[in-house]
Amino acid sequence: MDSPDTNAVLARDAGLEFPILSDPDLHTTDAYGLRHLGGGPDGQDIAHSASVLIDRDGIVRWVYVTRNVRVRPPPEVVVAAIDGLPAARGAD
């Protein structure tokens, strides 16, 4: 929900090379069922911390939604989910 400018500062400071998207009105967050009502520092709505893995055909294959603001999916769990995706069609 941060602005593109805020995200640009974050990407630069943290050296991130992947796209960081801005969803200021939370439309995409709502479409994914991830609005956290009143979860922001000033009581505003923000997104739940979540990871969604989408396969080559645009199908949702794995979802991790945290129940605790401190907790994120362990990297090996994410990698295992990615490894579990079916290979590209015709590749095997």
Q: By the criterion CB under 8 A, which residues form the site for another protein? A: 1-2, 4, 6-8, 10-11, 19-23, 27-29, 31-36, 39-41, 46-63, 65-72, 74-75, 78, 82, 85, 88
Q: Please report where in the chains the tokens 């602005």 appear, as a residue.
A: 3
Nearer to another protein (CB atom), residue 21 or residue 92:
21
Distances (CA, A) of 52 to 13, 19, 61, 82: 25, 15, 8, 11
Min CB(88)–another protein separation in Å: 8
Min CB(92)–another protein separation in Å: 15
C-alpha span between 28 and 4 (Å, rounded): 15
Distances (CA, A) of 22 to 4, 17, 27: 6, 15, 10
